[in-house]
Amino acid sequence: MIWTLYRMELFKLVKRLASWVTYLSYGVLIVMLYGSFYYNALKSKFAYFGFPNAWQAILELSAPVVSTFSAVLIVQAVASEFDWRTSRQNIIDGMSKRQWFTAKLLLLPTVAVFFFGSELIYSGTLAWLGTDPEIENAFAITSTQLHAIIGVFIGVLCYSSIALLVSLSVRSTGPALGITLIYQVFENITTRTLRGFDLDRLADWFPFQVHLALLKYNQYLTAGAEAKRGLEHVWDTNLLFVAGFGWIAVFLTASWLVYRNRDL
Mind listing the pLDDT tens digit for each residue in 177-196?
Answer: 999 999 999 999 999 999 99
Looking at the 3D structure of the chain, how many domains does it have?
Answer: 1
Look at residue 148 in the predicted model and tell me its pLDDT.
96
Mean pLDDT of 96-125: 95
Sign of CA dihedral 49, 53, 55, 56: negative
Angle formed at CA 153 by CA 151 and CA 158, multiple of 5 degrees: 90
Q: What percent of the chain has pLDDT over 70?
A: 96
> How far apart are the C-alpha atoms of 105 and 84, rounded to whole Å?
19
What is the domain range of residue 43?
Answer: 2-261
> How far apart are the C-alpha atoms of 80 and 86, rounded to whole Å?
8
- Please compute, for residue 143, the number of CA atoms within 13 A of its CA located in the half-sphere on the CB side: 6
Asked whether the beta carbons of 14 and 6 are under 8 A apart, the reply is: no
> How far apart are the C-alpha atoms of 243 and 208, rounded to whole Å?
11
Pick from 86, 216, 195: which is nearest to 148 by CA?
216
Least confident of 3-7, 32-36, 86-90, 168-172: 86-90
